[in-house]
Amino acid sequence: MFAFVKSHFEDALRLVLKPTRARQVAAVCYRHTRAGKKVLLVTSRGTGRWIVPKGWPIKGLEDPEAALQEAWEEAGVKSADIQTDPVGTYDYDKKRAGGDVTPVQAQVYIAEVESMADSYPEDHQRERRWFSQDEAASRVQEPELKAILRDL
Which residues face 104 on adjacent strands?
A: 22, 92
Domains, the chain: 20-151 (3.90.79.10)
Amino acid at 118: D
**Per-residue pLDDT of the chain in tens (152 residues, 90 and over written 9):** 545 445 555 555 555 555 689 999 999 999 999 999 999 999 998 789 999 999 999 999 999 999 999 999 999 999 999 999 999 999 999 887 788 889 999 999 999 999 999 999 999 999 999 999 999 999 999 999 999 999 99
The model carries a pTM of 0.84
Strands (E), the chain: 22-33, 36-43, 50-51, 54-55, 77-82, 88-95, 101-116, 128-132
Nearest residue to 112 (alpha-carbon basis) of 36, 54, 27: 27
